[in-house]
Amino acid sequence: MRKNAMSNLMTIMGLLLLGIGLYLIKATADPRGVMIALPYVCVGLGCGIFGQGMGSIISHKAIKNSPNIEKQLEIIRNDERNIAIGNRAKAKAYDMMIFVFGSLLLAFALMGIDMFAVLLMAFAYLFVAGYGIYYRCKYDKEM
């Protein structure tokens, strides 16, 4: 029950952060200083926290009445082979991330930071995540 309450709290907190961020985007006519980035940080964090909370709620409801599936999922989560595959994929993704974010930081240093830069950072993050997923699938077929 405690885990479910935490998921509900995270979902509500994510929605609040998302709402605050969207309000700040619309309400501030001439943002200066930290208010340039704060609304977008709130929107990003709100979306992430909301997604995590809703994912936990949905997965909990999906396996609520089936202890066999829950036991099987726990075995799969703790399988040494799956852990090794995940670690190897994370290592490859991290190696690639160093070069991607290094290049992006150089680009930020050479240009003025604006909305375009924030979008570049988001696309770079998604690229690194996709890279990790690719290697996860590749290693899963090998092992």
pLDDT in tens, 34-63: 888 889 999 999 999 999 999 989 888 888
pTM of the model: 0.56
Biggest alpha carbon distance in the chain? 57
State the virtual CA torsion across 123, 129, 134, 138 in degrees, nearest 10: 160
39's tokens? 């609304």
Q: What is the pLDDT of residues 63-85, one digit of tens each?
A: 888 888 888 888 888 888 888 89
The larger pLDDT score, comparing residue 74 to residue 117, is at 74
- Whether residue 14 contacts residue 47, with contact meaning beta carbons closer than 8 Å, is answered with yes
What integer best gives the mean pLDDT of the chain? 84
Nearest-angstrom CA–CA distance, 19 and 131: 31
By three-state DSSP, how is residue 30 classified?
A: coil
